[in-house]
Amino acid sequence: MTAAAKPKILLTRRWTEEAERYLCERYDVTLNERDVPMDVAALQQAMRDYDAICPTVTDPINAAVLGTPGARVKLIGNFGVGFNHIDVAAAKAAGIMVSNTPDVLTDATADLAILLLLMATRRAGEGERELREGRWTGWRPTHLMGQSVSGKTLGIVGFGRIAQATAHRAHHGFGMQVAYYGRRRAPAEIEAACKARYVGDVDALIAESDVLSLHCPGGAETHHLINAERLSKMKPTAVIVNTARGTVVDEAALAVALKANRIAAAGLDVYEREPVVHPDLVGLDNVVLLPHLGSATRETRTAMGLRVARNVDLFFAGQPVQDKVA
């Protein structure tokens, strides 16, 4: 294939050096050198200029973008497993294939869920802020007492790969009892791997959980799944962890519940209006706030980029794309 005939590809954000190099050696690639989010107008222009766009969760690939007149793009190679920022129906209508990157970020995100679980239950974020701000006066028996997790119930909403990996870590690493809710029950061997117990009603699961970890996809069905009513069903000692999608949690209602100590704590890695975080959450000590670090290891982000690249390779070779979602 001559250089002039190489497909033109846009990476909407900077990737790791290894992943960028792989694509640049094979295609006519444009990098977002400023590494800032692209607006709808820029994405619409990209639809006319490129054969494939490789977006991330920060890019609104909506109907207005996908329906751009004179669009040239035939592949949206998403960098990430979640794709609720992409209007899949509009992509199908426009004859544009969409792919994602499953599997490769499972362990990193599960690790992050456990990190938030421990930070929130042990008040680690609160303690670090106290120390850094010079407010720590020394050890004392009743200072910043948190909660042990051994023997407690970890309730999981959604039981896909990341949720299963989180359950395995919690059960085998910390002796937690695992209960889960999902659209369907997992196979017996998956349940047995972490002694997970299926609960067929999400409200019942919420009421019994000591820690509630969210792993469900974003979208209309799960928008504000955790709202004021469901927060009121939780134990006053309960902790919420969200590494799924920010829209799953009503942040305003969560802030009210945390401020009133209706629940003990929360650990969040995703937000409704990223990068904006609800101001009422920012000022609370009993919430741990991380800047969407779920898959943020060099190994994982490189693997994600190379997974996109494999989808791009297959698409332009005219072969079936393994990670096709639309």
Which residue numbers are catalytic? Answer: 245, 274, 292
Q: Is 221 helix (H, G, I), strand (E, B) or coil?
A: helix
Beta strand 197-198 with 211-214 is unpaired
Rounded Cα distance, 56 and 76, in Å: 10
- Collapsing DSSP states into helix, strand and coil, what is residue 121? helix
Q: Please state, in angstroms and rounded to a whole number, the distance separating the CA atoms of residues 182 and 205.
A: 11
Residue 230 near residue 205 (C-beta atoms within 8 A): no
User: Which amino acid is it at 198?
Assistant: Y
Question: Any idea which residue has 């690493």 for tokens?
Answer: 173
Q: Can you spell out the DSSP letters for 141-203?
A: TTTT-----TT-EEEEE--SHHHHHHHHHHHHHH--EEEEE-SSPPPHHHHHHTT-EE-S-HH
Is residue 226 helix, strand or coil? Answer: strand
